[in-house]
Structures are given as structure tokens and as C-alpha cells.
Amino acid sequence: MIDTFKKEILECRNPIITTHKGPDGDAVGSSVAWYHFLKKLDKKPILILPDAPSSFLMPFLKNVEYVVFDSENAINTADSNLLFCLDYNAANRVGSKMEQFVGSFPSKRIMIDHHPNPEAFCDITISRTNICSTAQLIYQVIDEMDLLELLDVEIGKGIYLGIMTDTGSFRFPSVDKNTHLILAHLLEIGVKHHEIHEAIYDVNTIDRIQLRGYAIAEKLELHPDYPLGIISLSKEELDRFHFQKGDTEGLVNVILSIEGISVAAFFKEENEGVKISFRSKGNYYVNEFAAKYFSGGGHKYAAGGQTSSDLNVTMNQFRSLVGELFQ
């Protein structure tokens, strides 16, 4: 399998890299790492993002040729014979606008991903669900192809970013011995870990801090019957704090950090519906619940979904169903 994979990569022309909608640190980190790796192989890659990432991820795209997908402006795929699907397991994860583009790509598709239950839409599927991040998987496949000598600081920064953000800074159960060995190697080749932490965690705006303060002080509900914490924010509340993409990222983990809480749910009202984030620990798993009721999915302990209803309707729906998570 890795030999076929390596052959496709060595022979590809103008490869296209894609990742999921609402690109997070692992989506951006693994894409950036893969982009720089392909450059090292003298390829001319391009990264196509379904939408722009949060502002704190933008600096990582600095030396990357990328476009934000726009269905109005057709992307010329005629010269490309390979499309990579990084950090997603189903074509619809790139969002409704870009799904058609990924699905109708005329040449080969290769998935590199760590989400459970990958759908069969790629010609080669490298899916390893026990690995903490797609970024770690990127390192491992480079290693398995015997090409680790190509690793440099730009590739390494992307890998570090993806691992760090998908593991809650190296603390989730998904972290293994390999994760730390890889991190050690990245530091050895010159990746400045503290710069990456600062770029992600020390770039708060006052509005962001105050929105989070408000959400925790005024909007946090602890369920009377279950070890469940909930925060919901309406459009009006988000507007009050001049919400910018990324401002509520990680808030769901704050809920989960409360002693005795095993499931955290965060609801954010958007223009058309509500985006939901779930986190859990111990014996509670959130991905099937997210898939069954909220058109979503994800990992056992970190999942998400959405509705097309307003916040009140969504909250009522959630409250009537939530018992199922605790059976």
C-alpha cells in the first residue's frame, strides 16, 4: 500500500491539496506540512480551502500558494492528476459548495485522515483512526516512504501545529509515545515550539476574552441530572462582542474542564442555523450522537454537527434527546 502511495506521489503533477470546511489547526497544519513536503519533491502543489481559517491560523499559510474555494470561479484541474483529501473522511466535509468539486475531480484522489468511518470516495485511503492528528500521520507516512531526510522547519511547523491543536496541547488519550518522539525530532531540526504556542494561544483580542468571560459567567448551564455542561450563544450575543471566526474556539473545552463534568456541549447560532461542538471523556462518546441527530460526526471524544433551525428550536431538540448520551 505505501509503495503504491509513494509511486503516485513521486509521479504526480501539480497536486491539489484539500481539507475540511472550517479548517482547524490540524487541517491547516497537515495541509501546510504536506504542501511544503510536495514542494521539496519539486512538485507544484496548490492548497484549496473550502473557507478561510480563523485569523490566528493565517500566519501558517504565509509561504503557501492557496485559494479559498469559490464556486463562481472554476479552478482549472486539467493540469493536475492528483487530489489529496487531508483531515476529512467524507466528501461532504468540504461543505456543499466544494463537495461537487472534490467529487467530480477527474483524476485520482488520496485520503490521509484519522477520523473514524472513512467513506469510500478516494482511490487510496490512508485512514488511521488511532492516531491523534492528521499531522502526525503526515509525519508517519513520510517516514514510511523513507523520505524523512526531506523534513525541514516549514514541514515541521505544520506538523507541530496540527499535533498541538488536535491533542489539546499533547494531553488527550490519543497522544502516544510516537507523538513525543516525533515532537522531539521536530525540535531537533529547529522547530521553535514556543513560537507556535504563542501564535495560537497568545493572540486574544479584548472582545474575544470578554465574549468568553460572558459565556462562562452568564451562559453556562449545568444539567440537573447528568454530568453535562452547556453553553449557547445567540447571534445577538455574538454580535455584541463583535464575533470573529475562532473567538469561541476552545470554549467547549473550558466546560469539560469543570470537575465532575463528562460531556460538554457548545451551541453557536449562525446566519443559517446552529453549529454545535461536543466534547466528552470517560465512558461517554459523542460522535454517534452528533451523527444521528445533528448531521455531524467526529471522534469519540470530540465531535460536532449543525442544524438549520434557530437556537431555541435546536436547544429544545438537544434537551429532549440528550438522555441518550448517558444511557
Q: Does 158 interact with ligand 5GP (rule: CB under 6 A)?
A: no
Which residue number, 9 or 91, has a Cβ lying nearer to ligand 5GP? 91
Site map 249..288 versus ligand 5GP, x via CB under 6 A: ----------------------------x-----------
Say if strands 46-49 and 273-280 run parallel, antiparallel, or are unpaired. unpaired
Q: Does 166 interact with Mn ion (rule: CB under 5 A)?
A: yes
Q: Cα–Cα distance between 222 and 230 in angstroms, integer? A: 6
Task: Judge whether 269 and 235 are in contact, CB under 8 Å.
Answer: yes
Which residue number, 134 or 232, has a Cβ lying nearer to Mn ion? 134
Nearest to 118 by CA among 128, 106, 133: 128
Q: Does 306 interact with ligand 5GP (rule: CB under 6 A)?
A: yes
- How many residues belong to the site for Mn ion (CB under 5 A)? 4
Residue 15's binding partner out of ligand 5GP, Mn ion, none, with CB under 5 to 8 Å set by partner kind: none
Phi, psi of 151, rounded to the nearest 5 degrees:
-60, 130
Binding segment toward ligand 5GP, per CB under 6 A, in 156-164, 177-185, 301-309, 314-322: 301-309
Residue 312 pairs in a beta bridge with none
Residue ranges in the chain assigned as alpha helix (H): 2-11, 25-40, 96-103, 134-144, 153-166, 177-188, 193-201, 206-218, 235-240, 251-256, 287-293, 311-321
Which residue number, 234 or 253, has a Cβ lying nearer to ligand 5GP? 253
State whether residue 221 is helix, strand or coil. strand
| CA pseudo-torsion sign 156, 157, 161, 167 | positive
Say if strands 228-233 and 221-222 run parallel, antiparallel, or are unpaired. antiparallel
Task: Judge whether 41 and 150 are in contact, CB under 8 Å.
Answer: yes
Q: Does 115 interact with ligand 5GP (rule: CB under 6 A)?
A: yes
149 Cβ contact partners less than 8 Å away, ≥ 6 residues apart: none
- How many residues belong to the site for ligand 5GP (CB under 6 A)? 13
Which residue number, 6 or 281, has a Cβ lying nearer to ligand 5GP? 281
Q: Treating both helix axes as pointing N-terminal to C-terminal, what angle do 25-40 and 134-144 enclose, rounded to 10 degrees?
A: 20
Residue 118's binding partner out of Mn ion, ligand 5GP, none, with CB under 5 to 8 Å set by partner kind: none
Site map 77..116 versus Mn ion, x via CB under 5 A: ----------x-----------------------------
Residue 299's binding partner out of ligand 5GP, Mn ion, none, with CB under 5 to 8 Å set by partner kind: ligand 5GP
Residue 115's binding partner out of Mn ion, ligand 5GP, none, with CB under 5 to 8 Å set by partner kind: ligand 5GP
Binding segment toward ligand 5GP, per CB under 6 A, in 100-108, 192-200, 205-213, 291-299: 291-299
Binding segment toward Mn ion, per CB under 5 A, in 31-39, 45-53, 118-126, 160-168: 160-168
Interacting residue ranges for ligand 5GP, rule: CB under 6 A: 24, 93, 115, 277, 296-299, 302-306
